[in-house]
Structures are given as structure tokens and as C-alpha cells.
Amino acid sequence: MSLTVHLIRHGATDALGVSLSGRTNAALNGVGAAQARALASRLAGETVDVLYSSPLERALRTAEPLAEAKGLAVEIAEPLNEIDLGDWTGARFEDLDHAPEWAFWNAGRSQHRAPNGESMLEVQARVARWLERIWRARGGGVVAAVSHADVIKAALAHALGLCLDHHARLEISPASLSTVVIGSWGLNVQRVNEVTPWSE
């Protein structure tokens, strides 16, 4: 028996491409809300037994249309929370571009961490434990989990046996869908970064 896990990145916010939201409660913008509705429509014809979300607002608001379409409650799962970016939380990318620590972190995610923040290895460990826990608890079925780009990258790298230093090889767009299947034989990646067309 296997468990299918749809990993969904939250929709767009005004901070996208401008600054690091981290664990702030950045809200979805109009585009992000439209993306969330389109994703709910995309999954309307597919089975979803349980819907989990990061506790952050942008993830919860992305989960809402799917919850309504499926008649499900949104269950908050702390392991799906965004990476803790410590002192970089809220920083603008243009201000980080010339910081050596920023370059080191992006070039070696398996070795470095944000100042006073969380390492990507720690993110990977918590999301990997969560995936195993829900598989053991549920055994089979289909769950959806709304999270964040780095968390989803960490989960996919775990499933693929990919070093986190190669995280940039994985593109995880806003409101994208990636799918992992878990069984007694291990993990299998079936979909990466599927983006549903949307309109405002």
C-alpha cells in the first residue's frame, strides 16, 4: 500500500522576487489568490483525503479554496513551516547580493545556515520525518500539503537522493504541484513543479 502526497507551494505574494518573507505572515496578492483558486479547480476531480498546511497565512490562504472544494478542514502541520531565515527575514535580495554569507549559503546549502536561522539540512530532516510519520499513520490514500519552496525542494531532494547543494536545479513556482508516492519500498517522485494556468 502506498501514500500519495501532493506538495503544493503557496501562491504569489508581493514579496516574491523582492525580499525574503521567511516566517513573516506575508499575504497572498491578487495573483496568488487566483493561483490558489485555479489549483483547487485543477484538483477538483482528484481524490484528496486530508489537507495539511504550513501555519503561515500565505499557505493557509492557498489551502482554503481546495479545502472548500473538497469539503475538508485544513490541518496545520508545523513541519511544513517555512525555513527560519533568522537575521535575513524580511531582507531585500538587492541588499543580500553582495554579502559573502548569502553567496556561501546559496552555494552550499548542505553546509551553511542563515545567521541565527535554520539550516536546510534541518528543514530536510523535519519534512522527511513528517512524510514518514504520515505514511505510517495513514498507510495509503492521498494527502495534499501546502508549504514553501525550500521545504518542498528539501523533500524532493530527500526523495531523489539529491545533495541539497544542488537545490537550484529544482524549480518550485508559486502554487505549483509536486507529487511524491511513499511505500514500504521507499519514495518515488511522480511530478515536479506542475503549474496550473490561472486568470485573475
For residue range 41-88, list pLDDT tens digits in order.
999 999 999 999 999 999 999 999 999 999 999 999 999 999 999 999
Task: Look at residue 156 in the predicted model and tell me its pLDDT.
Answer: 98
The strand pair at 3-9 and 177-183 is best described as: antiparallel
Give the ranges where 1-107 is alpha helix by DSSP (H): 30-42, 57-70, 93-96, 100-107
pLDDT surpasses 80 at 200 = no
Task: Look at residue 139 in the predicted model and tell me its pLDDT.
Answer: 87
Task: Look at residue 1 in the predicted model and tell me its pLDDT.
Answer: 86
> Using alpha carbons only, how large is the chain's radius of gyration in Å?
16
Sign of CA dihedral 153, 112, 114, 131: positive
HSE value, Cβ hemisphere, 13 Å, CA-based, for 24:
18
Architecture, CATH, for domain 3-194: 3-Layer(aba) Sandwich (3.40)
Average pLDDT in the chain: 96
Using a 10 angstrom Cβ sphere, with 0-12 exposed, 13-18 middle and 19 or more buried, the burial of residue 117 is middle
Could you give the percent of the chain with pLDDT greater than 90?
A: 97
Task: Look at residue 155 in the predicted model and tell me its pLDDT.
Answer: 98
Residue range 124-147: mean pLDDT, rounded: 97
pLDDT surpasses 80 at 124 = yes
